[in-house]
Chains A and B, each alone.
Chain A
């Protein structure tokens, strides 16, 4: 028979043991989360398997963006191609209206095939809508978790940054998240491009934007040409942005150079050629006026 005072002492001993262990393990846990090879405890625990979950959470962000109206894995054949939509929205600043092709893509339900399916639609979301009015914030936790699980997935950072700065006005948080992405993916042209956009569109800092875009272009030239399917759209975005910036800053010759670079990969080179010609017309006038 153990006396109650002995029980109390055992309890106190266990509590002291817990406290000591916590004090011992806490600094190690911090070191685990900061170690260069593994950015977080999640990575340490899940290993490469986390990438599978990361994709799931990225899709969850898209599901949330559509308020739950989303094809199941069995409807994927008729679904929008993976998560292209959420990502595509982020690539089209100022235009988040669903286009006709997207509406068509997300009409995965079609007419009900039988009475059971017709009845079952009373209990699911059957209307295609997009989050708006600040409710876009609901996609952010899923993107944050996806980034935690797979820091090498560049798209997660660029998409989250777009919604943060364009729809929620959180430029500071967007920059922090992009810089976090850059630390995990140094030399990523996409992240550098987005950082450039942030400095150009939100901070109106042409010098910083130019630095980011030029760096993005350099890294693109180092990494992409050797690939089987280089990211031409990314190249087009960087060169066109640089061209606009240089035109805005009055460096017309450099703007022409960038437009000519963009022409090589553009689907509508004639349009860009026309812009080049217009800039060339301005060029002598600028030189004359400067003399």
Chain B
């Protein structure tokens, strides 16, 4: 466990040193504040568009940070040959996978907290209220979704040769699932057999990342998601992440580190 935590700590320190997070955060702040400074028909109480833009940027930034950070973890260790002293510590390959995953996930959690703090301050400055539970729920669900994404990218980093190709493919897959994942069942019903069964199977097998996107509930001041549903979706995310990490560990065990 100590080895896993030590590896996670290293990933967090690395993220702290890199400039990606700062750039994305500053961009989010600047774009949101610029949009907030625009005067729409002399009405200073309009806030919905600002929340929507800010949350959209938070989601994009979250995905970019998660995918970008995770994609280069293991390839960088292999390229710099630091993986050999690491495994000679001795640290098992499973611990490397878990450490890298934990580090990336915790780092994303820290980053998301900062982003959501800004979002909360921005909303409060216009709406003069703090729906803290709503924000915490949205943050938690997005963080859980990122656990699946990070596990997927970690697996991809062991399958694909370059971090850039892995990052691009994973980004496209994740955005594709977010946009289409929830509609595949309806698409399937319009197809003929055997395509219908294939698409429906895909619908059940794909991780439903769109469930974790509750931006509309925040933007339009809807009720909280039921805690039962939240618990179930957390188990769902944990199961998917565990499955993908297990797959990554299996690939990593078979992977030759010298080639």
B49 touches A142 (CB 8 A): yes
Set of chain B residues within 8 Å of A74, measured between Cβ atoms: 180, 183, 186-187
B210 touches A120 (CB 8 A): yes
A116 touches B185 (CB 8 A): yes
For B189, B216, B232, the residue with the greatest tally of chain A CB atoms inside 10 Å of its CB is B216
Contact status of A137 and B43, CB under 8 A, knowing A113-B185, A113-B186, A120-B182: yes
Residues of A59-111 whose CB lies within 8 A of B: 64, 67-68, 72, 74-75
Task: Give min CB distance, B6 to chain A, whole Å.
Answer: 36
CA distance A185 to B173 in the complex (A): 43
A119 touches B211 (CB 8 A): yes
Task: Give min CB distance, A229 to chain B, whole Å.
Answer: 31
B49 touches A138 (CB 8 A): yes
Closest B residue by C-beta to A145: B49
Interface of A is mostly: helix
Interface size on B, residues (CB 8 A): 36
Task: Give min CB distance, B85 to chain A, whole Å.
Answer: 37
Closest A residue by C-beta to B222: A125
Task: Give min CB distance, A16 to chain B, whole Å.
Answer: 24
B43 touches A168 (CB 8 A): yes
B214 touches A123 (CB 8 A): yes
Set of chain A residues within 8 Å of B186, measured between Cβ atoms: 74-75, 113
Task: Give min CB distance, B210 to chain A, whole Å.
Answer: 7
B46 touches A138 (CB 8 A): yes
A125 touches B189 (CB 8 A): no
A177 touches B41 (CB 8 A): yes
Task: Give min CB distance, B116 to chain A, whole Å.
Answer: 17
B222 touches A123 (CB 8 A): no
Contact status of A170 and B208, CB under 8 A, knowing A64-B48, A68-B216, A122-B225: no
Which of the four size classes fits the interface of chain A? Answer: 20 to 34
Contact status of A170 and B42, CB under 8 A, knowing A113-B185, A116-B204: yes
* A231 at interface, CB cutoff 8 A: no
Set of chain B residues within 8 Å of A125, measured between Cβ atoms: 216-217, 220, 222
Set of chain B residues within 8 Å of A122, measured between Cβ atoms: 211, 225-226, 229
B229 touches A140 (CB 8 A): no
Task: Give min CB distance, A135 to chain B, whole Å.
Answer: 8
Residues of B217-259 whose CB lies within 8 A of A: 217, 219-220, 222, 225-226, 229, 232-233
* A51 at interface, CB cutoff 8 A: no
Set of chain B residues within 8 Å of A123, measured between Cβ atoms: 141, 210-214, 217, 225, 229, 233
Residues of A134-157 whose CB lies within 8 A of B: 134, 137-138, 140-142, 144
Task: Give min CB distance, B164 to chain A, whole Å.
Answer: 28
* A245 at interface, CB cutoff 8 A: no
CA distance A264 to B181 in the complex (A): 52
Binding site for A on B (CB under 8 A): 38, 40-43, 45-49, 141, 180, 182-183, 185-187, 189, 203-204, 208, 210-214, 216-217, 219-220, 222, 225-226, 229, 232-233
12 further interface pairs, Cβ-Cβ under 8 Å (given A113-B185, A120-B208) = A64-B49, A64-B220, A68-B219, A68-B220, A75-B186, A120-B210, A122-B226, A123-B211, A123-B225, A140-B43, A168-B43, A173-B41
